Amino acid sequence: MAENKSRKESNKIIAHAELLGTRVVVWDEEEGNKIYSEKYFGKWIEEEKVKFLQLMLEEAMLLLERGFIEIKESGKVLDVREFYRRCCEIDPELPFKYIVYRDLRNRGFIVKSGFKFGTHFRVYERGVNPYKRGEKSSREHTKYNVHAVPENIDWSLADLSRFVRLSQNIRAKPLLAVVDEEGSVTYYIIKHVSP
């Protein structure tokens, strides 16, 4: 019975990845394209004439939980629990960021890194191709900038203001995703109001 289950799970794997320091990479271009084009995960990187798909830790975690990828570190296959532990060592914010990431993905949104925009995630509407080249309609732009925080965070007004301004600069709605101690997420839209 366990053998049949592991055989079924291995049939779902569409890519093999490697944890290298703080990043997860898929070296095989064909496997990477399945994740990138079909599931909108990752970002293609080219360094020193080597092209690979780089996944955010949250993306890799979700794909691993769903059985779509296998992740190795130094030749050892990591299970979900071990990979999660390693991710938390790399990024202490991962526990609440991952809860928000998984929640947004489970709701059907396409979620990309918001690092360049001073937040955790950029979120696209359902059905949008975030990789479309050329002119985009207003529907195809980032809909939300999402910042994940635990419920007991102390956030300064300056940080909150910066988050709102950066979101408005790219015409995205700033969402604060508050994760409570039970792992539930509550989303708050933040608006700038002029006195």
**Residue range(s) of every CATH 3.40.1170.20 domain in the chain:** 2-90
On the CB side of 27, CA atoms within 13 Å amount to 6
Work out the number of other CB atoms within 10 angstroms of the CB of residue 113. 15
**Residue range(s) of every CATH 3.40.1350.10 domain in the chain:** 94-189
What confidence score (pLDDT) does residue 129 get? 66
What confidence score (pLDDT) does residue 84 get? 97
Query: 59: exposed, middle or buried (C-beta count within 10 Å: 0-12, 13-18, 19+)?
Result: buried
| CATH numeric code, 94-189 | 3.40.1350.10
What confidence score (pLDDT) does residue 132 get? 62
pLDDT per residue as tens, the chain (195 positions): 444 444 444 458 999 999 999 999 999 999 999 998 877 899 999 988 899 999 999 999 999 999 999 999 999 999 999 999 999 999 999 999 999 999 999 999 999 998 887 789 999 887 776 666 666 555 567 889 999 999 988 877 778 778 887 887 778 888 999 999 999 999 999 877 777
- The architecture of the domain spanning 2-90 is 3-Layer(aba) Sandwich (3.40)
What confidence score (pLDDT) does residue 87 get? 97
Residue with tokens 């979101």: 167
> Can you say whether the dihedral through the CA atoms of 167, 170, 171, 173 is positive or negative?
negative
| Per-residue DSSP letter, 152 | T
DSSP string across the chain: -HHHHHHHHHHH--EEEEEETTEEEE--HHHHHIIIIIH---EEEEETTEEEEEE-HHHHHHHHHTTSEEEEETTEEE-HHHHHHHHHHH-TTHHHHHHHHHHHHHTT-EEEE-GGGTSSEEEEPTT--TT--S---GGGS--EEEEEEETT----HHHHHHHHHHHHHTT-EEEEEEE-TTS-EEEEE------
